[in-house]
Chain A
């Protein structure tokens, strides 16, 4: 089956419907599926629930889908970088479900691994535990968290071969593998598609079984907080 598509819009064709749940990779603006987000904006699909650690910034990343009001609900751990997000949230236009970062990552991983729920110590005794089942193991309390089963995953990797085997680069890996795992259909954008055999099988970060559609494109890769030291300090 051919996995490589010509553009982000082509790769999303036939997969979108209003009210769907999308899992997105990325941390801050690092390793986000920028091209697929642009294609979602173009598609006009709406009432989306998006599971993503962050919500982009104004005018970039998921911030674009917020500006067009296509997102109804975010499942995130940290959303502090986005004024439009805050405006919509405070005015009640946007729903927000806070997830501790590790819980969000594990909920995605679990969904992808066929695990509908798991117990974690994270958030016990806090607001996050409200309404959740508490169970004791070895004398300590744990809360039940549910796996995320997304309609589609949108993911950014560094390189792919045409069978969908993926390699990520540095900290741009972040939420991309767990997000990729938890979608019924996973669409990946990469900087380079290489011939099969060009990636060392021992160095594949995510096997192609999780990947259904691939596109190659140019990425802006915007830096959120440019921090440097002077050459003489080095």
Chain B
């Protein structure tokens, strides 16, 4: 059985180590926070916060306290706030250990496309280009194939890039792959999924 969204998030949480400062993207990456267990993880929200807490209890929303997805959130005892230039200073400066992000396409050389589809509404890259260029490790969490059944792990990205050679690891509903010299390497298969099934579902070179 391929992994569902929550199982992908649970697997992605295993990438996190005690003491890490981490940035989680929107969508499935946000769910990763539910699976960090008792690891000491500090979440960064790039609009200017370290130590992001859960959603507020109804009635306790604060318009001055939102995450990068513009959702109301809460603070923790460890929280600090700062301005956007400082926030991206810590991102660009390599202080954030890892970013877990969604993607539209990943290429076998680590190129990432996740911000724009030409001809469709373009909303902007937000902080994605800064994150992939700056953080220590980029982990992509996405479905292995798009809704037409085409591989999202490609020899070359077809969409405009967010960054070149930036992805370290890809967690899909079928398993875990690393970007290595010469292509992608299967690290792990989802329960009941075989390496052959992953190869068959992958356009990128699997080494």
Contacts and interface: CB of A to CB of B under 8 A. Distances in A.
Contacts of B125: 77-78, 98, 100-101, 128
Interface residues of B, number: 54
A101 B130 contact: yes
A221 interface: yes
Nearest to A83: B121
B49 A102 contact: no
Interface of A: 27-31, 53, 76-81, 86, 98, 100-106, 108-109, 120-128, 158, 168-178, 205, 221-231, 234
Contact of B85 (A77, A98, A109, A120): A109
Contacts of A78: 123-126
Interface in B82-116: 82-85, 87-89, 91-92, 111
B87 A105 contact: yes
Contacts of B49: 170-171
**A-side binding surface: helix, strand, loop or mixed?**
loop
Most chain A beta-carbon neighbours within 10 Å: one of B58, B128, B130, B165: B130
Contacts of B72: 223, 225-228
Contacts of A28: 47, 66, 70
Given A105-B84, A226-B72, A126 B127 contact: no
Interface string B58-74: 11111111110111110
Interface of B: 45-49, 54-67, 69-73, 75, 81-85, 87-89, 91-92, 111, 121-130, 133-134, 160-165
A69 B64 CA distance: 29
A231 B59 CA distance: 10
Contacts of A178: 83-85
Contact of A171 (B47, B56, B61, B129): B47
Contacts of A120: 92, 133
Contacts of B91: 102
A126 B129 contact: yes
B56 A101 contact: no
A125 B109 CA distance: 13
Nearest to B88: A102
A78 B84 CA distance: 14
Contacts of B47: 27-28, 30, 171, 174
Contacts of B70: 27-30, 81, 224-225
